[in-house]
Amino acid sequence: MAPQLNRRRVRGTVAFVAASALASQVLDLGFVSPPAASSRRDVLGAGLAGALGAAFGGNQAAEAYELPPLPYAYDALEPSIDKATMEFHHDKHHNTYVTNINKALEGKDQPSLLDLQKTAIKNGPAFRNSGGGTYNHNFFWLEMAPTGTGGAPSDKLAAAIDESFGSMGEFKAKFEAASAPGARFGSGWVWLVVADGKLVITSTPNQDNPLMEGVEGTEGIPILGIDVWEHAYYLKYQ
């Protein structure tokens, strides 16, 4: 892809490449760290390697978690996801999870957001709901890209999809069925995870995610997730 000078395309390219590289990272290394705080200037200025590093951080202990900025404009995902939804979803819902997990951790050792996930269910509602909500949404924005810039899975990911589902078309059909109305009843997420070297589709209630010990469904490392809480789609799709 030829380098783009337009800022919006660069952000979009970063987001797409980040998502594809994320998948590769997981397949290679078996872990993914969640996005740490970074400004868009830092992400853009540091080049691709810097972007991935800044977006996914490391396992270092954190100060209070910050709401990461959206990697693209609020209307960048139109018409699939409407601008108003992106505004409420990021600025209100996601922000509330961040605020609440920080509150729960006030005066305590604050682990990395990734480290928080494993024991989130054991540690109770604040960790599970707000810690999970923060991770899930940090993750969600990064796996999407402005309309038309999503591209295609890397060779490695495409091969894994074919191996686990037969084809991309079959994967899509299974993922759509898993996210259909009532399949995950109530609020929750549907995920594509790496588990024991295979790709598996699973779903979780509320703000749980497959990194959490004791979670419903398949435990594993999520590489793609869709938020099926009604707030994720109700303004446009009802």
Partner 1 sequence: LQTDRRQALGLSLAALAAVGSASPALADDPMFTLPPLPYAYDALEPHIDAATMKFHHDFHHQAYITNLNKAMAGKPAASLVSLMPDAKKNKLNNAGGGHYNHCLFWTTMGPKAGGTPSGVLAEKINDAFGSFDDFKSQFSTAAAGVFGSGWAWLVVTKDGSVKITSTPNQDNPLMDSNGEIPILGLDVWEHAYYLKYQNRRPEYISAFFNVINWDKVGEYYAQAASGKPIEF
Applying CB under 8 A, does 123 fall inside the site for partner 1?
Answer: no
Q: Which of 4, 8, 47, 92 binds partner 1 (CB under 8 A)?
A: 92
Is residue 35 within 8 A of residue 68, CB to CB? The reply is: yes
Kindly indicate which of the ranges 56-64, 88-96, 115-123, 155-163 contains the residues binding partner 1, using the contact rule CB under 8 A: 88-96
Q: Does 103 bind partner 1 (CB under 8 A)?
A: no
C-beta separation of 113 from 131 below 8 A: yes
Q: Which of 188, 210, 220, 222 binds partner 1 (CB under 8 A)?
A: 188
Site membership for partner 1, residue 234 (CB under 8 A): yes
Contact indicator for 61, 83 with CB cutoff of 8 Å: no
129-145: burial string, b at 16+ Cβ within 10 Å, e else = bbbbbbbbbbbbbbbbb
Binding flag, residue 79, partner 1 (CB under 8 A): no
**Of residues 88 and 175, the one with the C-beta less far from partner 1:** 88
CB of 233 to partner 1, least distance (A): 10
3-state per-residue secondary structure call for 121-162: CCCCHHHHHHHHHHHHHHHHHHCCCCCCCCCCCCHHHHHHHH
| Binding of residue 186 to partner 1 (CB under 8 A) | yes
Contact assessment for residue 73 and residue 8, using Cβ atoms and an 8 Å cutoff: yes
Tell me if 235 contacts partner 1 by CB under 8 A.
yes
Q: Does 165 bind partner 1 (CB under 8 A)?
A: no
